[in-house]
């Protein structure tokens, strides 16, 4: 067991993980990490290309004896979700991730770790740097903006790649092979704000939802965790039925692909309503602590006086439409797979709510492994938007990755695993967006698999990575590459 970071980084994978953890790489801010990858390749005299989307492709020739084996594409993404605990002083645009070891797990310090998908980058760099690993010709492609738009993968020029075998390293469960994933789309409902003058003799209060666990909006959508945006909608709807108040602002969540943990709403109330307001917030704490006692035991709602004097508030019609939006926009599991037990088939996550000077924006990440069901979710969103007089914007549409029963790379991974462990590896599908679907769409006949070590609570400040699992998965990965020489690819 490793106890100190200094010892851990002696391992090549963690050496490179620590290197990239010092470089800003939030989605949309990948220039520095992209340039680092280019320098890495040039220093080792490897063929490299950086495209307009800042994707980086690095090619390494086959080791002796592997020249006639099919070329393998190794793929992951360089960007990470940037989340931090409230009160944490950390600038993701310049500050390094502070790594720490707890037992056999690697954590950051009050921020996301970036193991999703820094592990893929670390594996790729360790492999490219290795003089001992045996492998066929490699085409390593590290993409950008996977966590937000899939823009990097969507911008890949397939003519830059010759390989027909893809090993994606963006899975989060060791001892499992990922063979299928959901497609997705970002849907944003925009509600025009009609402002009116703030009434006199009112006080401003902030209602804040805190203490939720959050998580990846695909991987964790089946865990029943609270969505802070939906919760604030329920609270505002309940208050509207009993207490006269004016709504000034709603803000919650930071990424559509993360279940929102924190949401704030600012309301203005008269002095004679304050005690009733306090009682209602106490009531909601009791309600939510009962409802979410298993999934989010630390949930709490706070009410805080805001000293700032607001001059404008939403009109009553805007307020009602905002509440209706929070209540009606679909959220959570929409359908379960009838083919794979326990697999979420379709879902949607109301991930981000923001207030600008002119509009309220309600942004959702919708997913499905069945294209027609993804379309159905979008149609429901369109109807809600039309009824409420809102504009609906659809973007970042990406395809699903269908299961391939004849996959040769899956059979090779299965063979090596059984020889290594004496048991069959588990085959899984995931309710999340994996870039495999986009690359398969671009490269006809591409045979894909996805692997990765055990990660927990990704997209949250409690994200952590199993150290022994990372090492085990790395050795498994190398064993498969080595075994490619003796595998019958014509079978």
List residues with catalytic annotation: 79, 146
Q: Which of 404, 408, 425, 401 is nearest to 488 (CA)?
A: 408
Q: Which of 166, 210, 186 is nearest to 367 (CA)?
A: 186
The whole-angstrom separation of Cα 15 and Cα 260 is 32
Q: Which of 156, 136, 262 is nearest to 206 (CA)?
A: 262
Three-class SS string for 126-140?
Answer: HHHHCCCCCCCCEEE
Tokens read off for 452: 């990765």
Q: Which helix (H) or strand (E) holds 415?
A: helix 408-421
The whole-angstrom separation of Cα 88 and Cα 341 is 40
Number of helices followed by number of strands (H, E) in the chain: 12, 24
The whole-angstrom separation of Cα 223 and Cα 215 is 9
The whole-angstrom separation of Cα 203 and Cα 243 is 14
Q: Which of 481, 451, 474, 489 is nearest to 13 (CA)?
A: 474
Residues 6+ positions from 489 with CB-CB distance below 8 Å = 69, 70, 408
Contact 25, 17 (CB under 8 A): no
Residues 6+ positions from 242 with CB-CB distance below 8 Å = 276, 280
- Number of other residues whose CB lies within 10 A of the CB of residue 49: 14
Angle between helices 12-20 and 31-43 (to 10 degrees): 140
Burial tier of 458 (Cβ tally within 10 Å: 0-12, 13-18, 19+)? buried
Angle between helices 467-483 and 115-129 (to 10 degrees): 50
Could you give the C-alpha distances from 105 to 8, 206, 455, in angstroms and in order?
11, 37, 9
The whole-angstrom separation of Cα 5 and Cα 29 is 26
Contact 122, 16 (CB under 8 A): yes
Place of tokens 């048991």: 423
Render 72-117 in DSSP notation, one character per residue. EEEEEE--B---B-TT----TTTPPP--EEETTEEE-SSB---HHH
* 457 DSSP assignment: S
């Amino acid at each position: 067991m490793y106890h100190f970071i200094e010892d851990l980084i002696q391992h090549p994978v963690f050496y490179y993980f620590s290197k990239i953890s010092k470089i800003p790489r939030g989605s949309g801010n990948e220039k520095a990490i992209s340039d680092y990858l280019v320098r890495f390749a040039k220093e080792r005299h490897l063929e490299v290309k950086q495209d307009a989307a800042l994707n980086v492709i690095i090619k390494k020739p086959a080791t002796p004896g592997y020249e006639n084996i099919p070329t393998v594409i190794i793929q992951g993404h360089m960007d990470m979700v940037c989340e931090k605990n409230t009160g944490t002083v950390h600038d993701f645009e310049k500050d390094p991730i502070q790594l720490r070891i707890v037992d056999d797990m690697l954590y950051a310090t009050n921020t996301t770790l970036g193991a999703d998908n820094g592990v893929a980058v670390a594996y790729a760099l360790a492999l490219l740097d290795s003089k001992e690993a045996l492998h066929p010709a490699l085409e390593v492609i590290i993409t950008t903006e996977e966590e937000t738009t899939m823009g990097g993968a969507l911008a890949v020029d397939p003519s830059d790649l010759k390989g027909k075998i893809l090993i994606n390293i963006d899975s989060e469960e060791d001892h499992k092979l990922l063979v299928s994933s959901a497609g997705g789309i970002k849907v944003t409902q925009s509600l025009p704000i009609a402002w009116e003058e703030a009434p006199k003799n009112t006080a401003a209060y902030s209602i804040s939802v805190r203490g939720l666990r959050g998580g990846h909006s695909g991987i964790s959508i089946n865990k029943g965790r609270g969505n802070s945006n939906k919760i604030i909608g329920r609270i505002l709807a309940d208050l509207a039925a009993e207490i006269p108040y004016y709504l000034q602002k709603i803000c919650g969540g930071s990424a559509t692909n993360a279940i929102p943990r924190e949401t704030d709403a600012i309301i203005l109330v008269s002095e004679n309503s304050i005690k009733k307001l306090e009682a209602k917030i106490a009531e909601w704490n009791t309600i939510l602590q009962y409802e979410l006692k298993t999934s989010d035991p630390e949930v709490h709602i706070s009410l805080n006086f805001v000293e700032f004097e607001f001059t404008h508030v939403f009109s009553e019609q805007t307020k009602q439409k905002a509440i209706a939006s929070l209540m009606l926009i679909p959220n959570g599991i929409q359908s379960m797979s009838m083919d794979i037990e326990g697999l979420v088939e379709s879902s949607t996550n109301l991930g981000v709510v923001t207030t600008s000077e002119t509009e309220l924006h309600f942004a959702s990440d919708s997913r499905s492994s069945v294209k027609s069901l993804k379309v159905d979710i979008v149609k429901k969103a369109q109807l809600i938007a039309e009824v409420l007089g809102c504009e609906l914007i659809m973007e970042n549409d990406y395809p699903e990755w269908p299961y391939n029963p004849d996959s040769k790379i899956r059979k090779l991974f299965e063979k090596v695993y059984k020889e290594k462990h004496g048991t069959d590896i588990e085959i899984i599908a995931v309710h999340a967006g994996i870039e495999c679907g986009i690359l398969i769409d671009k490269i006809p006949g591409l045979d894909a698999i996805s692997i990765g070590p055990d990660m927990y609570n990704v997209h949250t400040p409690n994200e952590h990575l199993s150290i022994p699992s990372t090492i085990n998965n790395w050795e498994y990965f190398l064993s498969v590459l080595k075994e490619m020489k003796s595998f019958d690819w014509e079978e």
